[in-house]
Amino acid sequence: MSTHFNADVLVIGSGAAGLTLALSLADKHRVHVLSKSQISEGSTWYAQGGIAAVLDDDDSVEAHIADTLVAGSGLCHEDAVRFTVERSKAAIGWLISQGVNFTRNNGGDTYHLTQEGGHSHRRIIHSADATGQAVHSTLIERVRNQPNITVHEHHVALNLITQADTGSRKLRCSGAYVLNNQNDRVEVFQAKAVVLATGGASKVYLYTSNPDSASGDGIAMAWRAGCRVANMEFNQFHPTCLYHPKAKTFLITEALRGEGAVLRLPNGERFMPRFDKRAELAPRDVVARAIDHEIKRLGCDCVYLDISHKSPEFITEHFPTVKARCLEFGIDITREPIPVVPAAHYTCGGVVVDTDGQTDLQQLYAIGEASFTGLHGANRMASNSLLECIVYAQSSAEHIAANLDRIATPDTSPDWDESRVTNSDEDVVISHNWDELRRFMWDYVGIVRTRKRLERAAHRIKLLKREIAEYYSNYKVSSDLIELRNLATVAELIIRSAAERKESRGLHYSLDYPELSPVARDTVLVPTNFAGQDVIVSKNA
């Protein structure tokens, strides 16, 4: 028999978006938060750079909007961009009120702002080079002290629970089946509103700057439940991930380039000015493609990011985390350049939502990297992502709070049925398929794509999904199996989206279609069980 939990709101994910939403509702509502691992694990914790916001008198909302629209290569939704940027100052104010300790100028009253690729002004507020950790640790502390929030660590969401809503003739989301990794049992979580704050899907690629949790769980669950997804072909590859055999997914923050670091070939030659007049401050897709081009042209393993011309004191003050981490691998960034390669970093597409974070499925919301708001377009501009997390978490919380009293308590859902499955003695199937999936996605659906590569990837994913479905039907679920199943779903969505785009735009670059189409369109995929359509509701429901 499954254990059942009930709350007003269920938040799946424990990063900046999920915890902000939980804190915004907890004064009056009971909130349960699910964390795949310990609560401090996830992409937020590892975010180094900062948060973009209009905080300086020389900057303006219009300038921030204009920069974002340029970076998005014609696909940003201007209403979503304006919605986010206009709320940026208030979002930072809220974080400061929670206790986030942002870096100040010489310890004074004003905050230090830095500049990153694509931005025309210094507008990145940060906490040295560990902003994500500063934000996340503060929110975690606040959540721990909030009696109306219950955190369930080591809980992995498996599938969303849906019920027919007799009033609207639509499906509604009423909870989720969740694997408790502490006892290997599937539990039932039910709530009036469910929020996906599960992060992105960069783990679908062999090389990524993200932690293992970035397996596209929320996107895959929403798709299976009937929600549209959009622009999954736009996967941002961070240009500079530390290249070292023992360094797993350590990102070298873009703020280094914002403070004057330059990219060099193995012979010491600087190369970015040949690719873009903005050189190292060009948008990430331009820099990543330039690095990829040079690595393939020269047959070298990596390129080098050099900030050693700055004083050791400056480097130590602004980049203590990067300096310390590189020293662990024998690299002194005050004296020598850092070996770097591009790595999958951010999923610009996701579950289609409105400015309230609502998906196509009633009472289901998606916020943060799992969502598609229209903010990022074809290329996310640096440090807009944490801003999006806070702004949309707050707007979703406002919408949930305004409507929660009108939502009926969901019917009790049945227990998870494990009567026809057994324990697996062939987990090697999972590890092999996981490795194969991530390798062919890197080779065929990476920084540069072709029609032939996408066809090969589509063929492979069809076979893999068949194997995974058979395995899923016969054996008890595990975290690895859940993540593999979700990654396969997300990989298929990425491949389908990339194949539909017959142009090169932003993060999607095709050798077969190198030109920019005169018409900018989103790639919207609609599931066969689309939740926006009416459902037949039983009179006894």
The answer to whether position 536 is within a domain reads no
Please say if the pLDDT value at position 429 is more than 90: no
Asked if residue 522 belongs to a domain, the reply is no
Residue 535 domain-assigned (yes or no): no
CATH number at residue 72: 3.50.50.60
Does 171 lie in the same domain as 46?
Answer: yes
Q: Is residue 423 part of a domain?
A: no
535 pLDDT tier (thresholds 50, 70, 90): low
Residue 76 lies in a domain: yes
Do 80 and 522 form a contact (C-beta atoms < 8 A)?
no
Sign of the dihedral defined by the CA atoms of residues 7, 9, 15, 19, in that order: negative
- Whether residue 99 is found in the same domain as residue 207: yes
**Is pLDDT above 80 for 194?**
yes
Catalytic residues: 284
List beta partners, residue 177: 159, 188
Element (H, E) at 98: helix 88-98
pTM of the shown model: 0.90
Q: How far apart are CA 208 and CA 349, in angstroms?
A: 17
- CATH code of the domain containing 243: 3.90.700.10
pLDDT at 530 (0 to 100): 93
H/E run at residue 176: strand 170-180
The predicted-structure confidence for 121-134, as pLDDT tens digits, reads as follows 999 999 988 899 99
Q: Which domain holds residue 480?
A: 428-514
Pairing of strands 338-347, 235-242: antiparallel
> Are 239 and 284 in contact, with CB atoms under 8 Å apart?
yes
CB atoms within 10 A of CB 69: 18
CATH number at residue 484: 1.20.58.100
Cα–Cα dist 294/304, whole Å:
11
Quick one: 105 and 251 in the same domain?
no
Q: Say which DSSP state 336 is in.
A: S
* Residue 240 within a domain: yes
In a shared domain, residues 58 and 175 = yes
Query: Are 339 and 476 members of one domain?
Result: no
Task: Place 342 in a pLDDT band, splitting at 50, 70 and 90.
Answer: very high
The structural domain count of the chain equals 3
Q: Within a domain: residue 416?
A: no
Q: Do 400 and 465 have their domain in common?
A: no
pLDDT (mean) for 501-507: 96
Q: Is 144 exposed, middle or buried (0-12, 13-18, 19+ CB in 10 A)?
A: exposed
What is the overall mean pLDDT for the chain?
93
Element (H, E) at 11: strand 4-12
Kindly report, residue by residue over 355-409, the tens digit of the pLDDT: 999 999 999 999 999 999 999 999 998 899 999 999 999 999 999 999 999 998 9
Q: Is 459 helix (H, G, I), strand (E, B) or coil?
A: helix
Q: For residue 540, what pLDDT is reported?
A: 30
Question: What is residue 95's predicted lDDT score, i.e. its pLDDT?
Answer: 97
User: Dihedrals φ, ψ of 493, to 5°?
Assistant: -65, -40
Structure tokens at 212: 């293992």
Decide if 510 contacts 469 (C-beta within 8 A). no
Q: How far apart are CA 418 and CA 533, in angstroms?
A: 31
Element (H, E) at 109: none
Task: Mean pLDDT check: name the lowest of 116-130, 298-312, 422-436.
Answer: 422-436
Rg over CA atoms, the chain: 23
Residue 206 lies in a domain: yes
Cβ partners under 8 Å of residue 308, min gap 6:
333, 334, 335, 336, 337
Q: What is the DSSP string of 411-438?
A: PPPPPP--TT-B--S-THHHHHHHHHHH
Residues 340 and 481 in one domain: no
